[in-house]
Chain A
Amino acid sequence: MKYSIFYKKSLFIYFYIILIFVITTISEASIESDIKNITSKLRCMTCQNQTIYSSDTEFSLSIKKIIRQKLKNNESEKEIMDFLINRYGEYIVLEPKFNKQNLFLWLFPFIILALSLVFFILRIRKNT
């Protein structure tokens, strides 16, 4: 009896989650500018915290040229990123890699969120 209230109200949310997955699948078909995408994730090493996309320094322009060339050679985004990381270090990539060192960074927020929601649901159950 207690559980059905949750299920009924949650049904609503499940519907939307499914809808969003569907949308995401359809979205793959949309066109994105590859250079904008990749350079927005890279740090301009000669600027004060700007992306290569948004900067016009010599360094940024030469990296943009190199990336353009690599994309023409059909290199994947991962290959391009790895190429740059091997030379400039992880510092040049704005998204921290999902490796052992950064595991805490990526998982901690979701773990505390999950834990707090669990406590919250338990409290509600205690109440009803």
Chain B
Amino acid sequence: MYCGATVHANNRLLTTVSVAGSSRWARIGRALWDDHLNTILIYGVSLVAVLGCWQLAADRFHLFVLFPPPSTTFARLAGLILDGRLEVAAAVSLLRILAGFIAGSVIGILLGLLLGTSRTARALLEPYVHFLRFVPPLAWFAPVLLWVGTGELAKVLLIVYTTVFVVALNTMAGVIAIPRNKIRMARTFGGGPLQIFFLVMLPASVPYIFTGMRIAMGNSFMTVVAAEMLAANEGLGYLVNSGVLFLDTSTVFSGVIALGTLGFVIDRIFQSLIARFGGRFAPR
């Protein structure tokens, strides 16, 4: 991910003027300003500006239906949270994602480890992994619906599909990236293939596995929402869709806000996982 602090230091077209000879408190204050308060202020100004314009525009152009103002939207959002509908919808969607994601990740990791270690397996299986990876999971929704009906299984299977290939390919990349000396070292000490597999290859691939899982999670969100819009009667996708039917745009917006927040939080979790374990488990 891009590093905000680096962008700060490297690429300021607007340079800050440093004040020489200022007092200690002035310098501390300036540092605080440059690092944090500055940012908070701009965030604040930005939010106020945008929300304000939104509210004014909605009032001025009477777009209550097409583009409800923040007041209506947040009121509706609060209502949905208070009567529990939003939580239930979020829980249902999340559960579907988790079930498919966990299953898909496990299969993907094993597949990726296999592809990374065995050249024969790679030659045999790679064509399928590369081909299927580019077929949008939603395209499979139609056949899957025919085969297993419109229940939970259809959505979970779709998520498994979404997850497997991305995780497998990233895992495989991780195995390939393992420095040769690690394997040689283990062989020097008499390590057998299974020992090398579990004690060296698997741990060394962990950051790549996590990266693959992070991408797969994002894709799974996309897929589940669309699947719920097509064939479900619960979940965030369904909630958003139901808003369309009744031209209830504020519900639609609420659903969108919920989706964005959930996605952001989950991605942060993955990021911190990668930061925490990735450094230690890095192939180097």
**Pair from one complex:** no
Residues of chain B having any CB pair with chain A under 8 Å: none
